[in-house]
Structure 1
Amino acid sequence: MSSEPARAGLWTIVPAAGRGARFGSDLPKQYVDVAGAPLLAHTLRALLSHPGVAGAVVVLAADDVHFPGWQDIAGKPVLRCEGGDARADSVLAGLAALPDAVRPDDFVLVHDAARPNLAASDLSALVERGRDDPVGAILAAPVRDTLKRAGDDGGIDGTEPRERLWRALTPQLFRRLQLARALEAARDAGIAVTDEAMAMERQGMRPLLVEGREDNLKITTPADLRYFDYLLRSRTLDMP
């Protein structure tokens, strides 16, 4: 029998310290009610209901008074910690708050608090393929629309080729220590990374793209929230 301690399983970090200013609500968008539950609850359930996910660290603003105090969801632990002003600072805080059993070379997930419509099949594909990659992987969707480059006057300067262009989604899957070092390097260089893959790319790494569903939407506007509510209601109607 091996004396090596058991691994902690796959943990996920959920940065939820943002204000959601573009949403246009006094209440941070992650706490807006959808079908009787805060948006953040739907996001956490989508993650923690997956059999491959062991727990979550939710990263909150220092003055957050809205977090309901969840300690477990779907029978799995929910930890919380205080985040920073920038996304990278919040993810670094989440990495530091992971249980000690999560080793430096263990993979961890990072998922947007405002992406509640994550499909279990997408998460399975990300974990299966990402763990076989030396760097890790992200969920992404190919760009299908025609892209226009605008001039300063609002006119079209040209049409951009869309081949090989993808929209980055979450979750994103990387090793704990590699991700922490990449985020720290970007912060020290004064670079505001917009996702974890960008930090890894700056280190010369090439994360794998795993195609995910188009409806893994990020709630940015009230219209996005209405669409998610519609998706939830459609599922209820489809149930036998």
Structure 2
Amino acid sequence: MRYWFIVPAAGSGSRFGSERPKQYAPLAGSTVIENTLERLLELDVQALVLAINPDDSYWQSLEISKHPKIRTCAGGAERADSVYLALQSIAGEAQESDWVLVHDVARPCVRVADIRLLIETLAGHPVGGLLATPVSATLKRVGSSQHPAATMMNTAGAVIETVSREHLWAAATPQMFRYGLLVKALQGCRDAGISPTDEAGAIECLGLQAEIIEGHSDNLKITHGADLALAEAILAYQQQHKSGE
């Protein structure tokens, strides 16, 4: 069985608050993207396809860009577009039943052991699944406030209801699906004008179910600048306790 990694990395990271895309932000002596890719490359994969912005001026300056397992392709405007284009770039090599693992470039703290668990658990599955963690926070559904003074308070809105967290899981990555199914799912979404926010969402459009594999909550996705300090602390803890392996 063959495994391919796809890492969409064409986004500008507008919420990150920096001119430099977040994947190139400094982290633990290198950059976010280097930390992420180095973990993925610990696994035995056919190739790792990195979908980057055609105007990316940072990637070629990194030593890891010369790694023989890494290929690049032009990414798209949305995550789903980048993943689709990466899938198309290996169309002449990948087989329908090959596994594709899609991982967020901004998740440098993913544990290699969790990825191995994902691969081993789903090895014989016809569809695939994803790493996720049970939702532990109390969830509130928010709408427009009816309070007359709310517009002056700069609130985010008013609580409509408290949502039960029973059966709710926070999706993470990698998300692992059969090559043929993922191509079909994303093509169907494109034809329908739908832009799924993750691969499991695209698979749902085919009427199929993705399996959940419980991962660790330290698989942080860096979104804001302040997340870098937390990621740095997680990586240091994992290194000390050898829990990133």
Query: Could you tell me the TM-score, scaled by structure 1's length?
Result: 0.90
Deviations 1:37-87 (CA, angstroms, capped at 9, x unpaired): 12101110111112x334210000111111136131xxx510001011111
Asked if 2 retains the 8 angstrom alpha-carbon contact of 1:133 and 1:208, the reply is no
SS of 2:76 mapped into structure 1? coil
2:188 corresponds to: 185
SS of 2:226 mapped into structure 1? helix
Q: 2:66 aligns with which of 48, 60, 71?
A: 71
Q: Report the CA distance between 1:130 and its aligned residue.
A: 1.9
Deviations 1:185-224 (CA, angstroms, capped at 9, x unpaired): 1111111100000000011000100011001010001121
1:4 corresponds to: none
Asked if 2 retains the 8 angstrom alpha-carbon contact of 1:129 and 1:137, the reply is no
User: Which letter does structure 2 place at the counterpart of 1:20?
Assistant: G
Decide which moves more: 30-39 or 90-99: 90-99
Asked if 2 retains the 8 angstrom alpha-carbon contact of 1:48 and 1:54, the reply is no
1:33 corresponds to: 26
Distance in 1, Cα, partners of 2:195 & 2:185: 12
1:170 corresponds to: 173
2:41 corresponds to: 48
Distance in 1, Cα, partners of 2:99 & 2:115: 13
Q: 1:146 aligns with which of 138, 149, 159?
A: 138
Distance in 1, Cα, partners of 2:189 & 2:197: 11
SS of 2:69 mapped into structure 1? strand
Asked if 2 retains the 8 angstrom alpha-carbon contact of 1:23 and 1:222, the reply is yes
Unaligned runs of 5+ in 2: 146-156
Deviations 1:7-52 (CA, angstroms, capped at 9, x unpaired): 6x311000000000000000000011112212101110111112x3
Q: Report the CA distance between 1:103 and its aligned residue.
A: 1.1
Distance in 2, Cα, partners of 1:60 & 1:37: 19
Asked if 1 retains the 8 angstrom alpha-carbon contact of 2:218 and 2:234, the reply is no
1:1-240 map, 5 Å: 9-50=2-43, 52-68=44-60, 70-72=65-67, 77-98=69-90, 100-153=92-145, 154-237=157-240
The count of residues paired between Structure 1 and Structure 2 equals 228
Distance in 2, Cα, partners of 1:99 & 1:44: 22
Asked if 1 retains the 8 angstrom alpha-carbon contact of 2:6 and 2:86, the reply is yes
Distance in 2, Cα, partners of 1:146 & 1:160: 8
Provide the identity percentage: 43
Distance in 1, Cα, partners of 2:220 & 2:239: 19
Structure of greater relative contact order (alpha carbons < 8 Å, 6+ residues apart): 2
User: Which letter does structure 2 place at the counterpart of 1:198?
Assistant: G
Deviations 1:115-166 (CA, angstroms, capped at 9, x unpaired): 1111011101111112222210111111111111112112222111111111
Q: Report the CA distance between 1:229 and its aligned residue.
A: 1.0
User: Which letter does structure 2 place at the counterpart of 1:132?
Assistant: G
Unaligned runs of 5+ in 1: 1-6
User: Which letter does structure 2 place at the counterpart of 1:14?
Assistant: V
SS of 2:212 mapped into structure 1? strand
SS of 1:157 mapped into structure 2? strand
Asked if 1 retains the 8 angstrom alpha-carbon contact of 2:8 and 2:79, the reply is yes
